[in-house]
Amino acid sequence: MTTPLPPGLQLPADLVAVVYFCHVCEGKHTYGRDYVTETGGLPTACPNCSTPFVQEDRVLRVEADTFEGLEAKKRDLFAKRGRALPGRPKPDDPKEIKKQRIHGLEEELRRLRGGEDSPGVRLGP
Ligand SMILES: [Zn+2]
């Protein structure tokens, strides 16, 4: 069922999707594993504003990723840019962090129960 990834791209074998966060328009673009196996490569530019993607500057989603793990990867990416995750700045108060985390999990549950895909997650180009 799992198509091998093209060699030479330095991607984890259990890759699920590659997520790019555009520097310019702040668009989030998710490319599923199928995109990579079908095109044999990675996208080079933002589909919204045509800004070239920085290939190191992305989040690789793998099968082992939990929701929290993925959020942590995104946070790291934005921290590297010296920024907080958009729409969810990291507060200093641990109670506030907990509250946000509960809120995030509740949203995730609602999405799962509703049988809808997470907004912004789409496979393919
Ligand atoms: Zn863009």
Predicted pLDDT at 82: 79
Average pLDDT of the chain?
84
This model's pTM is above 0.85: no
Q: Please check whether residue 17 lies inside any domain of the structure.
A: yes
Q: Are 17 and 51 within one domain?
A: yes
Residue 101, amino acid: R
- 14-56 pLDDT tens trace: 999 999 998 888 889 999 999 999 999 999 999 999 999 988 7
Cα of 97 from ligand 1 centre, angstroms = 29
Largest CA distance in the chain: 45
Predicted pLDDT at 17: 96
**Structural domain harbouring 98:** 86-116
Cα of 49 from ligand 1 centre, angstroms = 4
Cα of 62 from ligand 1 centre, angstroms = 24
Report the pLDDT averaged over residues 81-87: 68
Cα of 19 from ligand 1 centre, angstroms = 13
Q: Are 61 and 109 within one domain?
A: no
d(CA 20, CA 74): 10
Q: Are 42 and 26 within one domain?
A: yes
Q: Are 93 and 64 within one domain?
A: no
Q: Please check whether residue 125 lies inside any domain of the structure.
A: no
List, in order, residues 6 or more apart from 109 with CB less than 8 Å away: none
Segments in 1-125 forming alpha helices (H): 33-39, 67-80, 94-114
Cα of 100 from ligand 1 centre, angstroms = 27
Number of domains in the chain: 2
Compute the residue count for the chain. Answer: 125
